[in-house]
Each structure stands twice: as structure tokens, then as C-alpha cells.
Structure 1
Amino acid sequence: MGGGTPRSSIGHILPGAGFLAVGLWHLFSHIRLFSLRPGAYVAPVWFPAPRVRHLELILIIAGSAVEFAMEMFVDHSTFLPFDADGSIPSDRLHNHEHAIICLALLVYAASALHLDRVRARCRGTLSVLLVAAVFAQELLVFHFHSTDHAGLEGQFHWLLQLVVAACLATALLGIAFPRSFAVSLVRSACITFHGVWLMVIGAMVWVPSRVSKGCSLVQEDGRDTVRCHSKASLHRAKALANLQFGWYLTFMTVFVVALYLYVCKRYPAEAAYVRVPEASEEEENLEQRKCGALRGGDDVRHGFTPLEIEV
């Protein structure tokens, strides 16, 4: 019987905390932007911070790089991710798969940052496509995972796939409907819930004291996993996982509604006015419309840029 490894739990809780932080930041920022200017709302891909414009992207780059290094080099008998002949060891396949997700996040954040700095054409559209690529990569990895996510562990990860699929769908819808506040709200809520559920997996699957009654942590193929002692115990454990998902989803819904009401009350709509754009701005707006929509990092509407959004 395994005692559970800190890496197994932390490896889900820390990334979950990252998704939770980004999701909450986007939830608040989207609601605030919509509340202040409902008639001019266009969903940004990311939100600039007050003093460090690219802080959100920088933190995503740093977190993804650290997690990539942890998956590839740390917490193993050898720091080398490959065998002497250059092949991937069987017990390291799941680490390489997790590292691919980290790499996709890193590519998105670094690309979005660079596109914004050079003010590339269609940078907003490209950035949201990169976001969709991240969730597509994650969904692919978890659906065809080399690790046998069977039993209770498989149930938690199957429910996680539902959340990732919702994130992917809303990211793609954001390309077609950049002015839809509903799409942005649901996407932000899904990212937040993604983080919550990752943390739940880390706590309920790999913390021995939290494992469902009738089940225990065992070590198989060099890793800890949950195995239930009978079919009845497995059925009960899966049912409890489903109940947890439902409870957290309900709490998330109530939280989003409460946050929406609070932010709208705290930041009432501004008085509408129109500033005549300069010739250079008209040219840039025309170019951006050709790309499909104005987005985060390149909005110029009613005399405001994302940097002027007080956050």
C-alpha cells in the first residue's frame, strides 16, 4: 500500500491554483469591463495589469516553465527524461504528456506577449486561437493518456475532460462572437472551475486521508493510484466523485452570479461619449476588422485602450 507522494498531489494542486487565479482575474475583469461599457464591450484575450502590462502573460510563462521542468527533470531517480538510447522510458510517458500541456501554455503566453509588443496584425485573433490550441492539446492528452486512469482516478479525470471541453468550446466561440459577454463569462467560469477541479483531484485522489472509504492508495508501475477493494466500494466512490462535481458546479454558479451583482454595483456604467478617431486609428481599426474582431491588446474603441482599463 502506498502512502501517496507529495508530487502526485502538488502536481495537480499547483497548476489548479494557477488556472483558478487566471480564471478569477478574467471573471472580474470581463464583468467590470462589460459593466463600465456595455455598448462598447469587446472581449480581450488577456487583461493588462495596472503597472506591468504583461504581468498575466509573464506569470503564465513562469508557471508553465517551472511545471515543465518539474515534469521532465525533477522527482525521479534520474534527472534525464530519456534513456541512454534516446527513447522515452515507459514510466516517464505520463510526465512527457503533462509537459506537452505546459509547453502549449508557454507557447501561447510567449506568443501573445510578443504579438502585442510588436503590434502585429490580427494579434488578438491569433492569441485566442492559441488559447484554443492549449485546451485542445490538454483534452487530447487526458483522453488518450498513457496512464491507465481506471476506477476512481479515471472518473475524476473523465469529469475533468468535460471541463476542458467546455473551455475549448467557449474559446472557439469567442472567435466568432467577440462581443458576446455570455461567451466570455462562461469561458472565464470554466477556466476557474478547471482550476478548482484540478485541486480537488490532487486532494481527493493522492492524499491518503481523503481517499473514499473502501479504497486505498497502492503503487503500480512506479506510481501511486487509487484502487477500491470491491465493486460496491468503487461504485460508491464514483458516485461521490459525481456528487462532488455537482456540488462544486453549483457553488461556482452561485459565486459567478454573486460576483456579477457585486461588480456591476461597484462599477456602474460610464456616461457614453464618442471621440473622433485620428486617421492612424481609423486605419488600424479597419485592419483589425478584417481579422474578424478587435481583441485584448489591440482594442482602440471610444478613445480607450486596454492599458487605460483600470484594473
Structure 2
Amino acid sequence: MGSLIGHVLPGMAFFILGLWHLFNHVKLHSLHPNSYTSSPWFPVTKPRYLELYLIMLGSSISISMELFIGPEKHHPFDVDGTIPSNHLRNFEHSFISMSFFVYATFALLLDKIGAKAKCGLTHLLGAIAFGQQLLMFHLHSTDHKGLEGQYHLLLQLVVSISLVTTLMGIGFPRSFLVSFVRSLSILFQGVWFMVMGFMLWTPRLIPKGCSLYNDDGHKIVRCASEEALHRAKSLVNIQFSWLVNGITIFAITLYLALVEKYSKNVKYSSLAKELEEMPEDSSDIETEKKNNLSDSKCTLVRGESLKRVCPF
């Protein structure tokens, strides 16, 4: 992080992950509304653990960039073995990536051994990763009063939502809305990271009265006056509000489109027709016929089980 690429690439990763989760949660809930259970990650056909492998790979690349590739000496330590002040943020960023690496690694192991509490524990691991991310951005060694600090302040709000909804997933595994909001917050994190990258490290996008300066090897934005800083922060708040509205419209539109597509897989048929197709030697079915054949308004919904639905 601390550069255009350092924000855009992680942002793309969070955006793709959030979109992947959003799509799968809506699809799963549309196909199985009565038996839906939240999943902290989603397997694919080949390889099953592709999502977790990609998280581990992305986290490893991020750690390497922060600690070994990015620094001029290709290591983050000073000549006496201490951590120099200008590398503190590199360590902070690397610990965030390390938390997600730990999450993905143990999520994979829990699934491989088939642990009974794997779903709850995986949610807990995810919550720890988001908690670490929130802590590091809250206690970030960069200036909290400047323009970058305003971006980080709003980012903490989104990360807090990811943390809370991940913890709620432990106690409410069958809540679709909890999973929906968590996926949307991860997607939002990705979008906001990319916005930060472009707005803070593209000179022509920096607000009037503010400029890029070199601060001990890191480029930061500083404003010439309090008025310019206040205006720049207000523009950040406006950007955030635009994105809230835009992502909300996108999420609900996606939900409606996927529900329309996948809910068609639920088949409807009349109760009388279904009962006629059942074996005649069942006393339970005979009783069911007597009780329900007279009700022409009732239908059967084929999902994971046969259920009677009446419009009253």
C-alpha cells in the first residue's frame, strides 16, 4: 500500500471476492430459501479450494511487496536490526495480509478434516482478520488529520460492518441478510481502496489547494491551508455518499436479476395432481386427499421437500 498500485490491486481483490460472495449467497438463497445456511467461502468444481488458494496467494504477494520487494534495501529493517520509522506502515499493512493468509489456511484445513464446528470457526477466523484490519487502520502510523486520514476513517466504517456481520454469521448462520450485508461490505472495501488509490496518487485528481509531497520515502497529500483541507475532506465525504447510493442500486439490481433467474428452478404443481401421482396404498395419502382435494387454491412447491402453499 502507500501507492496507486498498492491500493488498486488489493481493492480489486476485495471487490472480486465480495462480488463472488454476493452472487453465490443470492443464488443459494434463491434455490434453497427454506434450507439456506451461510457459508464463509464457496468451493468450485476444480479445484475445490480455489477461493482460499487465491486469498493465500494474494496475501503472500502483499506481504512480499511490503517487506521485501518494496523497500530499497529489499528488507524492512535498519542496519542495527531495528524497524525504521518509515517502514512502520509496511509492517502494519503486512500484518493485515498475514491475518487473511491465516484465515484462508485454517479454513482449508478445517474443511479437509471435516471438523463439525468448521463453519463457525471459519467465521471466527474471518472476524479476526477483519478485526486486525480495523485495528491497524485505526492505529495507523500515517497522519490521521490529513486527507488520507479521512479516507481511512470512512474505510474503518466499512471494515466495522464486515467485522460485525462476520461475527453475526456465527450466531445466525441461516440469516441471508447478514451474509448479504457482509458480502456487500467486502465489495465496498474493494471499491473504496481503488478510489483511494486513484484520488490520492493521481496528481490531477487531487483537490485544489492540496499537493503530493515526499514524506520520508512515502508520497502523501498535504493541503496548503485549513480551508483547503476542509474542502478536500468534504469532497471525500461526497465521494463516499455517491458510492453508498451507487453500490446499493447495484446490489439490489443484482439481487432482483438473480432471484428472477434462479427462482424459476422451483417447480409448482396443483395439489390434486401431486396426490394422484402418489401411491394409492398409503393411508397417510388417503387422509391427505380427503383433507385437501377440496381446496383448489392450494399448490405444492417442490423444493428440498414437498410443501403446501395457500394464498391466504
Same structural fold, with TM-score higher than 0.5 when normalized by the shorter chain: yes
Give distance in 1, aligned partners of 2:81 and 2:110.
35
User: Which residue identity lines up with residue 270 of structure 1 in the other structure?
Assistant: V
Match of 1:63 in 2: 58
Hey, what does 1:291 align to over in structure 2? none
Of residues 53, 70, 78, the one that matches 1:75 is 70
In the alignment, structure 1 residue 177 sits paired with structure 2 residue 172: yes
State the percentage of identical aligned residues: 50
Q: Over residues 250-281 of structure 1, what are the superposed CA-to-partner deviations in whole Å (9 max), with x where a residue is unaligned?
A: 00000011000000011015359xxxxxxxxx
Post-superposition shift, 1:75? 2.2
Q: Equivalences for 1:39-188 in 2 at 5 Å? A: 39-188=34-183
Kindly indicate whether the alpha-carbon contact (under 8 Å) linking 2:2 and 2:218 is maintained by their aligned counterparts in 1: no
Q: Is 1:195–2:185 an aligned residue pair?
A: no
Partner Cα separation in structure 1 for residue 267 and residue 152 of structure 2: 47
Q: Out of 11-20 and 111-120, give the one that drifted further.
A: 111-120
Question: What amino acid maps onto 1:138 in structure 2?
Answer: Q
- Structure 1 pair 191–118 and aligned structure 2 pair: CA distance change class (3 A): same
In the superposition, relative to structure 1, how do residues 126 and 271 fare at CA in structure 2: closer, same or farther (>3 Å)? farther
Higher Rg: 2
Gaps (5+ residues) in structure 2?
Answer: 269-303, 306-312
Q: Does 1:254 align with 2:249?
A: yes
Deviation at 1:86, TM superposition (A): 2.3
Cα distance in structure 2, aligned partners of 1:26 and 1:177: 17
Deviation at 1:7, TM superposition (A): 6.3
Shift of 1:120: 2.0
Deviations 1:21-47 (A, max 9, x none): 000000000000000010000001101
Deviation of 1:188 after TM superposition, in Å, equals 0.4
Paired residues for 1:185-224 under 5 Å = 185-224=180-219
Matches of 2:206 and 2:44 in 1, distance apart?
A: 40
Whichever residue aligns with residue 149 of structure 1, its letter is H
Q: Deviations over 1:5-61 (max 9, x none)?
A: x96111111001000000000000000000001000000110111322111001000
User: What corresponds to 1:270 in structure 2?
Assistant: 266
Q: Report if the CA contact (8 A) 2:142-2:149 is conserved.
A: no
Deviation at 1:223, TM superposition (A): 1.1
Deviation string 1:105-156 (CA, Å, 9 cap, x unpaired) is 0000011011111212311111100000011000100111122233111111
Q: Number of matched residues?
A: 270
Name the SS of the counterpart of 1:217 in structure 2: strand
Query: 2:34 is paired with a residue of what secondary structure?
Result: helix
Within the candidate set 220, 225, 249, 1:225 is matched to: 220
Aligned position for 1:25 = 20
Cα distance per residue 1:153-183 (max 9 Å; x no partner): 1111100010011110111111111101010
Note the alpha carbon deviations across 1:39-96, whole angstroms, 9 max, x for none.
Answer: 0000011011132211100100000000110000112220122223321111111000
Alignment partner for residue 235 of structure 2, among 225, 233, 240?
Answer: 240
8 Å contact kept, 2:2–2:219: no
SS in 2 for 1:41: coil
- Opposite residue 250 of structure 1, the aligned amino acid is N
Structure 1's unaligned 5+ residue stretches are 1-5, 273-301, 304-311
Aligned-residue offset at 1:249: 0.7
SS at match of 2:3: helix
RMSD value, Cα? 1.7
Alpha-carbon distance in 2 for matches of 1:238, 1:7: 19
Write the distance in 2 (CA, Å) between the matches of 1:215 and 1:252.
28
Scaled by the length of structure 1, what TM-score is found?
A: 0.84
C-alpha displacement at 1:208, in angstroms? 1.1
Secondary structure of 2:91 counterpart: helix
Instruction: Output the CA distance in 1 between the equivalents of 2:162 and 2:210.
Output: 31
The aligned counterpart of 2:4 is 9
